[in-house]
Amino acid sequence: MSKTAQPKVSLRALALAPSSGFRSKVVTVPEWNGAKVMLREPSGEVWMKFREITRPPEPPEGQEPKKLTLQEEFIRNKKADVVMFLGILLDEEGNRVFSDEDEATVSEIYGPVHSRLLSQALELGLSQEAAEAK
């Protein structure tokens, strides 16, 4: 009996593939005419940008931190979500759909569909234990 020889997979090529260090999944977006998109867990760089936006500025010495109004808090949180969304939405081939320069454009139309996609991408980054506990 001869077995069909499987091509040897290059471990190096797998490890160095652009998205190999990230969990991802393809989902269908009904609101976008059934388009299929790939969602990738956020990178460390995206998390850093997110934290820079959400971290309150250091108040001058001896002063209390400024309390944000509800509107300021909403705007800050939306900006942080948009920055993260730019980094997690990929086409089916694994290429980023948006660049960082698209932030203002995406921010204008960012809504519940985008937020749901971001939530799914964030879930990809949960540890197995945290995911099972949910």
* Percent of the chain surpassing pLDDT 70: 89
Looking at residue 38, its amino acid is M
pLDDT of residue 131: 53
Range 11-56+66-133 classified under CATH 3.40.50.720: no
- What is the token pair recorded at 28? 């269908």
* pLDDT above 60 for 78: yes
- Indicate whether 29 pLDDT > 70: yes
State the pLDDT at residue 134.
56
pLDDT of residue 11: 85
Mean pLDDT of 47-70: 90
Residue 92 or residue 1, greater confidence: 92
Answer for the pair 107, 8: CB distance below 8 angstroms, yes or no. no
> Strands (DSSP E) along the chain, which ranges?
24-29, 35-40, 89-90
Question: Global pTM?
Answer: 0.81
Q: What mean pLDDT value characterizes the chain?
A: 89
User: pLDDT at position 16, please?
Assistant: 83
